[in-house]
Structure 1
Amino acid sequence: MNNTTTLCLALLGLLSIGSAAAQNAPVLQQAESGTLGADWTTPPAQAGVQYVTITPTATINAQNPGTAARVISYAVTFPGAGSYDLYARVRVNAGGANDDSFYYGNGFGTKAPADDNAWITVNQLNAVGYASGSGNVAVEGAGGAGTGVWKWINLSRFNGGEVPISFTVAAGGLAQTFQIGAREDGLDIDKLVFGQTGLYFTPDQFDNNQQGSSTPPVTFTPSGPPMAQGKSKFLGGVYSTSQKPFFNRYFNQVTPENAGKWGSVEATRNQMNWAELDSAYNLARRNGFPFKMHTLIWGQQQPIWIETLSPADQLAEINEWFAAVAQRYPNIDQIEVVNEPTNDLPLNGSTGNNGPNNPGGGAGNYYNALGGAGTTGWDWVITSFQLARQYFPNSQLMINDYSVINTQANAQRYLGIVNLLVQRNLVDAVGIQGHAFSTRGVPAATLASNLTLLASAGKPLYITELDIDGVNSAGQLDDAVQLTEYQRIFPTLWEHPAVRGITLWGYRPGHWRTTQVAYLANADNTERAALVWLKNYVRTTVLGTRQLAETAVRMFPNPAANGRVSFTGTADLTRLRITDLRGRVVHEQVLHRQPSVDLLLKLAAGLYVVQLTEQNGGLITSKLLVE
């Protein structure tokens, strides 16, 4: 081979490498660089970000932009032929689900604005996506970023109302016209990007217009086991699509976030959607975790259709709702029967802290059907628990509310409702939400004192919805601020003798307080400083215990022949757990006011640890020898 031939081949090779590298680079379009229809506007740049948004209008077409004024056209030149996915950097504003949709063209070319078939609808963007700066994670699938943040979404992989598409570029057609259309106002669009199908792009790569990769980015994988495994108290998590990755590596109790709310299950009368609730319930059952139903009665997220029924028909529907849940989920450990009674009545016109409850807003408006205030002032709560005791005789019934331990007055008011239920033997536990807005700035001693006050009703306490923000006074992400607040708040709650368990109300992006950066793990699964500390604290903190011999509970025979063992004096216990000497749970069950328990254990011969949990959260332990 002569030198000239060698040089030509080398140049061809370099051109080939350059072409491949060019195709790896995203094809970027600044949203404002297109030809904007008259209804689009370009507000002043914010923090260096120039973007487009649609002029507010009352008209929203169901499946198309409707007019040319609501369309933006782009001239896009591609580096090479192939298949490309469409990405967008967007921000959903305060309207949430009312601010989160737009259209893109069903393929390249100029589209008729009012032709349904010419447009792909993209909806439900309020709780999906990957926030800028969210770590070494590929932008694909749904993601979990929320509102108020700039975030990237792979529109070719996300079904937001219609089946998404990728875009094919032919060798002779590298220059193309592409269009987007407006649907809801309140959605800001910063950039549109075409990335080669099959490549992986992280938010940082898009933000810096860098090349994608043919291999997925390496992300952190948590190892488990659950933080509170083997403890007398559970540390649970809220269950939703964005929160379920690696759930059982951290948590050992399950509460559905929205799936158990009546409005989610029966948005249309007599049409029940159990899918997400089934998923949460089955996760708990597969892993032997306690499952808590959230929630039967509330003044939010209730079916709209029930608001206008007669009180008699409303009460009949409430009975049907309770019966349907009881039939589908026969082994619910805990049920939040009434949620937020001091803050949000199920009554249109109520002006509680979450009000005003307007018609059609999902308050339920069945307050009077349950008895209203009545003679006690809280008859509607009492009726709800009477029904729950009827339909769920073996479940632990719980009341739940927020901002009830930040002041003594709030705690005292809540205690009054609890005592009304205790007097009627209708409540088994007291739920206390732990949102950041209820604990920030409140001395830990105040929180502890009010926990003790609520415990005076004689029922175990549960912290049901704990979250702690991770931003500083300037609104910037700050790991140190979140860590300090966890170290200040969490031990006060965890170590209180009446607190039986804590449930975190989310730990990943997609968290309901994502804007306040309350999540503990990043989108790439890496753990923020507060989570690293929390794991170590929960696993190493020794909670108070008593030996079996010091109590009225009896276990016999011991040694257990053929795995048969019985317990008596268990009426005041809530849980029985047996572990091996390495701390692995080999048997666990919830106890429902049972005076005795008989077990036939299928265990290998050896020594085991028995853990019995009291109603006040105390732990009784003993050794069991299986022969």
Structure 2
Amino acid sequence: MRISLSTLAVVLAASTPLHAQNTAYVIEAESGVLGSNMVTSSEGDVSWVEISTSAAGTAPGSADNVVTLTPSFSQAGEYDLYARLYVGPETYSDDSFFYANAFGSPAVDDEAQWVTMNQIAAAMGYTEDDQLIADGGQATTEAWKWVRLQTEEAALTYTVPDNVLTQTFQFAGREDGLRIDKFAFGPHGYSFTVNQIENGLPGTEGVPEEYQPEGPPIASAKSKFLGSAYADSQAKNFTYYWNQVVPENAGKWGSVEGTRDTMNWADLDEAYNLAQENGFPFRMHVLVWGPQQPGWISSLDPSDQLAELQEWFDAVAERYPDLDYLEVVNEPLHAAPDGTSDRADYIDALGGIGDSGHDWILTAFRMARDTFPASVKLMINEYGVVGSNSNTTAYLDIIGDLQAENLIDVIGIQCHAFETRGSVDTMQANLDRLAESGLPIMVTEMDIDGTTGDDSDTVQLADYQRVFPVFWEHPDVIGITLWGWRIGLWRTDEEAFLVDEYGYERPALQWLREYVQSSEDWYGYDVWNNWVQTDDWLGKIYVGYAPWIWAGDNWIWMPNPDESETGAWGYISK
């Protein structure tokens, strides 16, 4: 899905061709004065600048990392900033740089004067001539793409006064592998396509108005949550739609401790605090996995690896004492930390496969049970389960061994688009098999694709209507988490997003709201976090996945010995 020139004519209030002075001013990155750590390279007819040795932090730190440009404008005014960038093959290790948030020469160590542009490997930016360069985008890595630069709150504007048409603009490298070709300053209040910027054509007056949802979250007052993965690209208007939070990448060990003993909690803090401030359940993703682990862990001997794993567990438990759900192991059937396929290799530190075939999983869960408070529900997570009888069997084998030691509280199933294209009957049957374990089930990473054709909305809507009710209506499913919902989610190319570049809801999202909000809850009473407040029954009643037992003609509460809330259990007449 993209905004083209023809679509723009409908979206904008005024879309008439402008005079030549309303073109963007384009300046080549390599035309400036380069610090000693900044180098130029070329391929074909494209030349670019990149940093030779990666830096870090939230400001350049040294003039060696800075490039100084001196654009000369033909007219005064306010300008928006665009950049043509290329993210290299290392993706999220090749995708950040700094740029000054105003004209001039800011102090290299003052983060208040610099913007850290990161996560450029995610879907953002535009490559096709007729694409409007907006805040989102669908281009990812290893392609030259135009990106509209912005802060988290709003796009920056750069002021050119009447008497100083030549300005100083600085940018700086941060990660090697990010190629910076050129910058463009477009007159504020005008929109530009790729073709208009690259060929010096006038922009189009007006900026498309963004949709502002009203909230509350779709599943508020429901006994099940409907949440989403959280990341910078998914943050805008999050709380208007979703009432559960899980960090997309920020909670992975490699994101937090990429450098040994140097912890980067900022993005994970943001997701956790969002949940805490809004009363949403929070799921920590993830302690143990094969991919996206620290690069240094595999070179240690097993005893040191185990010590580092315990340090990682301890650090998470100390910093986030109020976790609701904790993924201890992710994708044990497909992505163990065994050193294959570029995965981390520390499986032996956890006991290897052992007699059970999965001793390493049992060890990880024992460590988690010992480390985290009893209130934290421990989970396992896997993909390819509900569509496969054999994978369900293998998964249940692991789950059974965990249950034997009381090490697991919730079963996680991912349900990405490529997993749910098969028979609904098969998915239903395997859900029932998982439920026979007696454990609640959480759908942890759902997304449903559209298509790159004109019928994308229709295709996505039909698949949501086919797939989503299977899970939402299952009595043992306690909630569903979408793996992103805005452009920038990992399946942007497959058009799995639920709103367009300007936040307008696609038909699947409109249906999803109506469907979820029309679903019935317990006896017509609203439910919040598994508790219902009644005026004429028993007062405060727990109505979660357990321990209510249907006894043929009534519900019986089977109290947890640790439960002490008076008036919370008893007899409810059907």
Give TM class, smaller chain.
Answer: 0.7 to 0.9
Asked if the contact 1:238–1:256 (Cα under 8 Å) also holds between the matched residues in 2, the reply is yes
Task: Give the direction of change, closer, same or farther, for the CA distance of 1:547–1:302 in structure 2 (3 Å limit).
Answer: same
How far apart are the structure 2 equivalents of 1:478 and 1:78? 42
Q: For residue 427 of structure 1, report the CA deviation from its aligned partner.
A: 0.8
Asked if the contact 1:138–1:201 (Cα under 8 Å) also holds between the matched residues in 2, the reply is no
Q: For residue 515 of structure 1, report the CA deviation from its aligned partner.
A: 2.0
Which residue of structure 2 lines up, in the alignment, with residue 402 of structure 1? 383
Q: For residue 29 of structure 1, report the CA deviation from its aligned partner.
A: 7.2
Does residue 335 (structure 1) correspond to residue 315 (structure 2)? The answer is no
Task: Give the direction of change, closer, same or farther, for the CA distance of 1:212–1:74 in structure 2 (3 Å limit).
Answer: farther
**Any idea what SS the aligned residue of 1:296 has?**
coil
How far apart are the structure 2 equivalents of 1:153 and 1:285? 33
Which residue of structure 2 lines up, in the alignment, with residue 79 of structure 1? 74
Which residue of structure 2 lines up, in the alignment, with residue 260 of structure 1? 251
Q: For residue 328 of structure 1, report the CA deviation from its aligned partner.
A: 1.8
Q: Counterpart of 2:565 in structure 1: which amino acid?
A: D
How far apart are the structure 2 equivalents of 1:177 and 1:314? 46
Does residue 26 (structure 1) correspond to residue 24 (structure 2)? The answer is yes
Does residue 302 (structure 1) correspond to residue 302 (structure 2)? The answer is no
How far apart are the structure 1 equivalents of 2:220 and 2:165? 59
| Alignment partner of 1:231 out of 197, 222, 241 | 222
Which residue of structure 2 lines up, in the alignment, with residue 12 of structure 1? none
How far apart are the structure 2 equivalents of 1:283 and 1:375? 42
Task: Give the direction of change, closer, same or farther, for the CA distance of 1:397–1:174 in structure 2 (3 Å limit).
Answer: closer
Which residue of structure 2 lines up, in the alignment, with residue 376 of structure 1? 356
Which residue of structure 2 lines up, in the alignment, with residue 498 of structure 1? 476
Q: Counterpart of 1:415 in structure 2: which amino acid?
A: L
Which residue of structure 2 lines up, in the alignment, with residue 446 of structure 1? 426
| 1:518-539 per-position Cα deviation (integer Å, ceiling 9, x unaligned) | 1111221111111111111111
| 1:532-581 per-position Cα deviation (integer Å, ceiling 9, x unaligned) | 111111111236x5799xxxxx9999769xxx95769999349xxxxxxx
How far apart are the structure 2 equivalents of 1:178 and 1:316? 44
**Any idea what SS the aligned residue of 1:237 has?**
strand
Task: Give the direction of change, closer, same or farther, for the CA distance of 1:268–1:105 in structure 2 (3 Å limit).
Answer: closer
How far apart are the structure 2 equivalents of 1:597 and 1:129? 50
**Any idea what SS the aligned residue of 1:283 has?**
helix
| Alignment partner of 2:147 out of 153, 170, 175 | 153
Does residue 417 (structure 1) correspond to residue 391 (structure 2)? The answer is no
How far apart are the structure 1 equivalents of 2:512 and 2:98? 43
**Any idea what SS the aligned residue of 2:329 has?**
strand
Which residue of structure 2 lines up, in the alignment, with residue 478 of structure 1? 456
Which residue of structure 2 lines up, in the alignment, with residue 318 of structure 1? 309
Task: Give the direction of change, closer, same or farther, for the CA distance of 1:423–1:175 in structure 2 (3 Å limit).
Answer: closer
Q: For residue 450 of structure 1, report the CA deviation from its aligned partner.
A: 1.4
Q: For residue 480 of structure 1, report the CA deviation from its aligned partner.
A: 1.5
**Any idea what SS the aligned residue of 1:297 has?**
coil
Structure 1 residues 126-135 or 78-87, which shifts more?
126-135
How far apart are the structure 2 equivalents of 1:439 and 1:255? 21
| Alignment partner of 1:463 out of 423, 428, 443 | 443
| 1:95-124 per-position Cα deviation (integer Å, ceiling 9, x unaligned) | 42355468999999xxxxxxxxxxx99765
Q: For residue 151 of structure 1, report the CA deviation from its aligned partner.
A: 4.8
Asked if the contact 1:477–1:517 (Cα under 8 Å) also holds between the matched residues in 2, the reply is no
Asked if the contact 1:76–1:178 (Cα under 8 Å) also holds between the matched residues in 2, the reply is no
**Any idea what SS the aligned residue of 1:236 has?**
strand
Does residue 194 (structure 1) correspond to residue 185 (structure 2)? The answer is yes
Q: Counterpart of 1:453 in structure 2: which amino acid?
A: R
Asked if the contact 2:379–2:409 (Cα under 8 Å) also holds between the matched residues in 1, the reply is yes
How far apart are the structure 2 equivalents of 1:541 and 1:547? 10
Which residue of structure 2 lines up, in the alignment, with residue 88 of structure 1? 83
How far apart are the structure 1 equivalents of 2:321 and 2:54? 41
How far apart are the structure 1 equivalents of 2:288 and 2:392? 21
Which residue of structure 2 lines up, in the alignment, with residue 430 of structure 1? 411
Task: Give the direction of change, closer, same or farther, for the CA distance of 1:31–1:275 in structure 2 (3 Å limit).
Answer: closer
Which residue of structure 2 lines up, in the alignment, with residue 582 of structure 1? none
Q: For residue 27 of structure 1, report the CA deviation from its aligned partner.
A: 3.2
Which residue of structure 2 lines up, in the alignment, with residue 41 of structure 1? 43
Q: Counterpart of 1:510 in structure 2: which amino acid?
A: G
Asked if the contact 1:127–1:146 (Cα under 8 Å) also holds between the matched residues in 2, the reply is yes
Task: Give the direction of change, closer, same or farther, for the CA distance of 1:105–1:317 in structure 2 (3 Å limit).
Answer: closer
Which residue of structure 2 lines up, in the alignment, with residue 572 of structure 1? 546
How far apart are the structure 2 equivalents of 1:193 and 1:477? 34
| 1:303-361 per-position Cα deviation (integer Å, ceiling 9, x unaligned) | 2232222222222222222222222222211111111111111122x3xxxx243xxxx
How far apart are the structure 2 equivalents of 1:86 and 1:396? 46
Which residue of structure 1 lines up, in the alignment, with residue 489 of structure 2? 511
Asked if the contact 2:499–2:509 (Cα under 8 Å) also holds between the matched residues in 1, the reply is yes
Does residue 269 (structure 1) correspond to residue 260 (structure 2)? The answer is yes
How far apart are the structure 1 equivalents of 2:506 and 2:304? 50
How far apart are the structure 2 equivalents of 1:509 and 1:240? 12
Task: Give the direction of change, closer, same or farther, for the CA distance of 1:599–1:283 in structure 2 (3 Å limit).
Answer: farther
Q: Counterpart of 1:598 in structure 2: which amino acid?
A: E
Asked if the contact 2:126–2:133 (Cα under 8 Å) also holds between the matched residues in 1, the reply is no
| 1:457-508 per-position Cα deviation (integer Å, ceiling 9, x unaligned) | 1211111000112224x6x782122112211211112112222211000001
Asked if the contact 1:557–1:566 (Cα under 8 Å) also holds between the matched residues in 2, the reply is yes
Does residue 243 (structure 1) correspond to residue 234 (structure 2)? The answer is yes
**Any idea what SS the aligned residue of 2:378 has?**
strand
| Alignment partner of 1:525 out of 487, 500, 503 | 503
Which residue of structure 2 lines up, in the alignment, with residue 584 of structure 1? none
Q: For residue 378 of structure 1, report the CA deviation from its aligned partner.
A: 0.6
Does residue 542 (structure 1) correspond to residue 520 (structure 2)? The answer is yes
Q: Counterpart of 1:275 in structure 2: which amino acid?
A: A
Does residue 287 (structure 1) correspond to residue 278 (structure 2)? The answer is yes
Task: Give the direction of change, closer, same or farther, for the CA distance of 1:332–1:101 in structure 2 (3 Å limit).
Answer: closer
Asked if the contact 1:81–1:174 (Cα under 8 Å) also holds between the matched residues in 2, the reply is no
Q: For residue 429 of structure 1, report the CA deviation from its aligned partner.
A: 1.0
| 1:565-614 per-position Cα deviation (integer Å, ceiling 9, x unaligned) | 5769999349xxxxxxxxxxxxxxxx9945544269xxxxxxxxx9x9xx
How far apart are the structure 2 equivalents of 1:397 and 1:436? 25
> How many residues are paired up?
510
| Alignment partner of 2:335 out of 317, 341, 344 | 344
**Any idea what SS the aligned residue of 2:504 has?**
coil
Q: How does 1:589-608 map to 2 (within 5 A)?
A: 593=560, 596-598=563-565
How far apart are the structure 1 equivalents of 2:128 and 2:186? 19
How far apart are the structure 1 equivalents of 2:25 and 2:116? 22
| Alignment partner of 2:121 out of 126, 129, 149 | 126
Asked if the contact 1:339–1:400 (Cα under 8 Å) also holds between the matched residues in 2, the reply is yes
Task: Give the direction of change, closer, same or farther, for the CA distance of 1:372–1:409 in structure 2 (3 Å limit).
Answer: same
Q: For residue 426 of structure 1, report the CA deviation from its aligned partner.
A: 1.0
Q: Counterpart of 1:433 in structure 2: which amino acid?
A: Q
| 1:393-414 per-position Cα deviation (integer Å, ceiling 9, x unaligned) | 2211110011112211111111
How far apart are the structure 2 equivalents of 1:182 and 1:224? 38
Using CA pairs under 8 Å that are at least 6 residues apart, name the structure with larger relative contact order, 1 or 2.
2
**Any idea what SS the aligned residue of 2:370 has?**
helix
How far apart are the structure 2 equivalents of 1:292 and 1:333? 6
Q: For residue 79 of structure 1, report the CA deviation from its aligned partner.
A: 3.2
In structure 1, the gaps of 5 or more residues are 1-19, 44-51, 65-71, 109-119, 358-362, 549-553, 575-590, 601-609, 613-619
Asked if the contact 2:88–2:142 (Cα under 8 Å) also holds between the matched residues in 1, the reply is yes
| 1:227-248 per-position Cα deviation (integer Å, ceiling 9, x unaligned) | 1122221111111111121111
Task: Give the direction of change, closer, same or farther, for the CA distance of 1:439–1:188 in structure 2 (3 Å limit).
Answer: farther
Task: Give the direction of change, closer, same or farther, for the CA distance of 1:122–1:592 in structure 2 (3 Å limit).
Answer: farther
Which residue of structure 2 lines up, in the alignment, with residue 5 of structure 1? none
Q: Counterpart of 1:26 in structure 2: which amino acid?
A: A
Task: Give the direction of change, closer, same or farther, for the CA distance of 1:212–1:571 in structure 2 (3 Å limit).
Answer: closer
Q: Counterpart of 2:474 in structure 1: which amino acid?
A: H
| 1:178-237 per-position Cα deviation (integer Å, ceiling 9, x unaligned) | 999999668596x753223xx144455975844465x76421011111111222211111
Q: Counterpart of 2:505 in structure 1: which amino acid?
A: E
Which residue of structure 1 lines up, in the alignment, with residue 36 of structure 2? none
Structure 1 residues 425-434 or 176-185, which shifts more?
176-185
